[in-house]
Copies of this chain bind each other. A is one copy, B any other.
Amino acid sequence: MVEFMDYGGVLEKIHTAIQPTLGRGKVADYIPELASVSPRHFGMAVVTVRGEVHAIGDASTDFSIQSISKLFALVLALKAEGEALWTRVGREPSGTPFNSLVQLEHEAGRPRNPFINAGALVVTDILCTRFAVPENALSEFLQKLAGTADVHYNRRVERSERSHSDRNAAMAHFMRSFGNLRNPVPQVLDAYCRHCAIEMNCIELATAVSFLANHGRISATGEQVLDASLAKRLSALMLTCGTYDSAGDFAFRVGLPAKSGVGGGIVAVIPGECGICVWSPGLDDSGNSHSGTLALELLTTFTGRSIF
């Protein structure tokens, strides 16, 4: 249905165009493991639904996936819990930066969506209920999606995250006071911090996310991860909620469903066509990769392949 697109050539054009911007933005610095990463890294990969892999720059270098894990944790929780999950977490953009506690208060402990921290804590709570060792369940799931055995946790990142988790602990206890967290807070925080500490590279992540572009099916194995309708709907959720408080602006500029992390990675999807991952650690004010966002904007400009 879609005409041939030379993604290899497109990636080279992007790589050239993006050079002057490398180093812009600010690397996340709340934990030393993220603060010490060079902001000049740049990698990008496109994996089509037919399994073709295109990559450039540091696309094979592992990085901390951070909040990108929220997307895959959600998929795993949806498979386990079904649509009942939505009684405990909403599907609306959060709108306001930094004040999820305010929203939780107004909305009786039900987070706005599964991509903000509060929502991801509820998703993690569901995984804690459904799986004996939720972190293992998630890493095995990612290995299947990415078609690789190389999905690992960085223990030092995990410990750093855990020692800086007071704000997440506050939200977890707060939701627990509303009955929207079932497992002990420390257990949920342990799993949550481990999820954030997963390390993967652009090629693996582009592969892992490509099932959303492929009607919910893993190209390599044909396994149906989600039904086609739910795969579409998750893409919609990524568009409206996937890039922190600048989802509107991101949709305006890039026009693709995406999920970002403060490690500088962004996964995105062109429905029916490909999964994408870009990585560059310098962040803009909203916490999205500065050069990564620009690279995705160039991708839709060069290819005309935005969803709009």
Residues on A close to B: CB < 8 A? 1, 3, 90-96, 98-99, 101-106, 112-113, 166-167, 169-174, 176-177, 185, 229, 232-233, 235-237, 239-241, 245-249, 251-253, 255, 257, 271, 301, 306-308
Contacts and interface: CB of A to CB of B under 8 A. Distances in A.
Contacts of A166: 173-174, 176-177, 185
Q: How many copies of the polypeptide does the oligomer hold?
A: 4
A3 B1 CA distance: 9
Contact of A99 (B1, B91, B105, B251): B105
Main secondary structure of the interface of A (DSSP, over half): helix
A249 B93 contact: no
A111 to B, nearest CB: 12
A140 B248 CA distance: 30
Nearest to A167: B177
Contact of A90 (B105, B229, B248): B248
A307 to B, nearest CB: 4
28 contacts: A91-B252, A92-B247, A93-B95, A93-B240, A95-B95, A96-B106, A101-B101, A101-B105, A101-B170, A101-B174, A102-B105, A166-B177, A169-B169, A170-B172, A232-B306, A233-B255, A236-B251, A236-B252, A236-B255, A236-B306, A237-B248, A237-B251, A240-B240, A240-B247, A240-B248, A240-B252, A271-B307, A307-B307
